Amino acid sequence: MRLLRLPNLLMIVLVLVFSKYFLYEHSLHALLDASFWLFVGSVVCTAAAGYIINDYYDIKIDAINRPQRVVVGRHISRRQGLLLYTLLNVLGLLLAFPLSLFLAMAVLGVQFLLWFYSGVLKRTAFWGNALIALLSALPLLLLALLEKEASPTLWLYACFAFIMTLIREIVKDLEDLHGDRTHGCRTLAILWGLPQTRKLLYVLLVFMGILLLGSYWLLPVRAAIYLLSTTTPAAAYLLWKLAHADTQKEFHFLSQYLKFMMLLGISSLLFL
């Protein structure tokens, strides 16, 4: 389960189910739609494959940064990891093909980008972070493609997913600084150092604040009030912790805390 990041996969399912129900049809019958679950299965299989290939390429780095979480090469062989990665990608494609050829090609493109990120882009400054942030928002945009409708509210949540993931990915780079530097990575945390990277995170938090203010005009009043009243104090606490963090343990806490903030954002869908 550690290899597949089960909590992350469950969060993906939760986002898609809530989006389907609250952004589109407000009907339990809509959740019985077979095409929707084919789509969810395709997204989950592709994401799980992405986690595996990331671990495959990061064995040496993870042995330094988080040795207790290494799975590939320890609990399963590298060959078994590649086989599972391939099977999940094939299954993700097979589930997407009945929906549309375009959607299947989009899934194939995502699979390629996840491989490219793990093998090449992850070790570079910023662009790997930006790609993962974009891919985290993409399931919502593909859902809009499936539903043939993309409302401003959906775009708001997609932007929220993008900015929150971008912040978290940069925080994770700060957490993984030692192992990344040992193996020649050139992340923002390494090239810029902590003070400059922290300043970038402050700027991104400002953009997140602008998004939250925009929710007041785009969301129903009760959803906007809930989102602002929960995420604003959460963001203030994040800002305070970020200003004082300087150890791997503290950045790990911030990485996990950002997951909590994502859940706050997702839960606001209940008030639409």
pLDDT tens profile 148-166: 888 899 999 999 999 999 9
Mean pLDDT by 10 residues, the chain (272 residues): 81 95 84 94 97 83 67 76 94 96 96 94 90 96 92 94 96 88 84 94 95 89 93 95 93 95 94 90
Quick: pLDDT tens for 1-12.
567 788 899 999
The structural domains of the chain, with segments of one domain joined by +, span 6-271
Element (H, E) at 128: helix 127-147
Environment class of 117 (CB within 10 Å of its CB; exposed 0-12, middle 13-18, buried 19+): buried
Q: What is the pLDDT of residue 186?
A: 87
Tokens of 238: 């994040």
Burial 67-79 (b: 16+ CB within 10 A, else e): eeebbbbeeeeee
- CA distances for 141 relative to 66, 112, 120, 150, 186, angstroms: 33, 18, 25, 7, 30
Fold for 6-271, please state it: Farnesyl Diphosphate Synthase (1.10.600)
Whole-angstrom Cα distance, residue 266 to residue 83? 33
